[in-house]
């Protein structure tokens, strides 16, 4: 990869013209059915004069829907007269995955949030990552990537960011978590397969931008409560950024509880193949040594189920959804109180 090569993707919509502009990012993909055709990644740009830019993304994982619905609502409802600056909305970042209702692209198997910084001449997913890395992220000040648990996980509605390499950036990132106003907001140490540098958050980190994510629900469906929190959170984040006026702030019933997610002991995995019976739910508080789930073996029904335990105390952020489970699947992860001044 050469980071100096321009992206091959082309935006139909202008970024520097006032008003609301709707259309597609064209990703040319010459295939058997379509020699000169393009993959149409939808984009809405709303701009009014000078000011900060917010980049709002969903469908990074195609089977995570609350953010996609929230950004459809915003794309229709946001008026340029109301804002100062610019809002860039891309509700189906990994468009082929979104169309298929899959986490990863059916074209190249690519997981967009593990494909950064991407490659201008790489696979379809790598080309999308490169467009965000070199075009959309550099023109943005505030980035919010709206995730949920996908088909395999269900989250308590929450926001997160990754601990930045520059400690001075943590305060502004916590400010974004608090502004979004989800019940929980956590600072992840990264690792444990969660992406880090290869995620859109990593692109923002490389570019010196502020980025948070959400986990609004999951289970391959639309969680109504998570969607409401997401719509309110996006609005209040735009107020926080100074893009929407202060009078548009929507009150939040209780402030975000700030948490952190650190090492491997925050995760519980299946240790056998079988049927997963959860013993706790997202939002529950647990103690170290508490039983988390049982794995049953109907193939050998006289065997005792295998029990997985929490290795530390914390709040359950998510649980695995499919009953059928194999060794190595993530069943739960925790977050714990963020020490003040951390």
Kindly list the residues in this chain that would bind Ca ion in the complex (CB under 5 A).
Answer: 61, 147
Smallest distance from Ca ion to CB 16, Å: 31
Smallest distance from Ca ion to CB 64, Å: 5
Among candidates 59, 144, 122, 132, which has minimal Cα distance to 96?
Answer: 59
Complex with Ca ion: residue 86 or 147, whichever CB lies closer: 147
Complex with Ca ion: residue 181 or 217, whichever CB lies closer: 217
Name 247's Cβ contacts closer than 8 Å, sequence gap at least 6: none
Smallest distance from Ca ion to CB 197, Å: 16
Position closest to Ca ion via CB: 147
Smallest distance from Ca ion to CB 146, Å: 9
Smallest distance from Ca ion to CB 309, Å: 26
Smallest distance from Ca ion to CB 134, Å: 22
Cβ(25)–Cβ(152) under 8 Å?
no
Cβ(137)–Cβ(220) under 8 Å?
no
């Amino acid at each position: 990869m050469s980071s100096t090569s321009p992206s091959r993707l082309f935006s139909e919509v202008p970024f520097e013209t006032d008003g609301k502009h709707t259309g597609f990012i064209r990703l040319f993909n010459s295939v058997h059915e379509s020699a000169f055709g393009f993959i149409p990644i939808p984009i809405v740009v709303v701009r009014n004069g000078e000011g900060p830019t917010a980049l709002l993304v969903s469908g990074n994982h195609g089977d995570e829907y609350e953010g996609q619905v929230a950004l459809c609502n915003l794309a229709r409802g946001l008026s340029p007269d109301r804002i100062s600056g610019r809002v860039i909305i891309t509700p189906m970042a990994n468009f082929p995955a979104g169309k298929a209702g899959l986490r990863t692209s059916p074209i190249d198997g690519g997981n967009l949030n593990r494909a950064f910084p991407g490659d201008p001449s790489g696979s379809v997913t790598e080309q999308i990552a490169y467009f965000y890395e070199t075009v959309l992220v550099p023109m943005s000040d505030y980035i919010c990537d709206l995730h949920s648990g996908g088909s395999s996980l269900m989250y308590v509605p929450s926001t997160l960011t990754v601990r930045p390499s520059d400690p001075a950036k943590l305060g502004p990132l916590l400010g974004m978590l608090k502004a979004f106003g989800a019940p929980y907001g956590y600072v992840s140490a990264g690792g444990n397969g969660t992406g880090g540098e290869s995620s859109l958050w990593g692109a923002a980190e490389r570019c010196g931008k502020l980025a948070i994510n959400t986990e609004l629900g999951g289970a391959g469906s639309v969680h109504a409560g998570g969607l409401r929190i997401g719509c309110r959170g996006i609005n209040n984040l735009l107020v926080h950024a100074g893009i929407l006026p202060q009078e548009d702030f929507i009150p939040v019933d209780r402030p975000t509880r700030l948490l952190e997610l650190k090492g491997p002991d925050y995760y519980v995995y299946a240790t056998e193949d079988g049927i997963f019976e959860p013993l706790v739910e997202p939002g529950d508080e647990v103690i170290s040594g508490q039983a988390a789930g049982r794995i049953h073996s109907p193939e050998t029904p006289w065997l005792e189920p295998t029990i997985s335990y929490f290795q530390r105390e914390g709040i359950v952020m998510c649980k695995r959804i499919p009953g059928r489970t194999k060794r190595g699947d993530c069943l739960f992860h925790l977050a714990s109180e963020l020490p003040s001044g951390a």
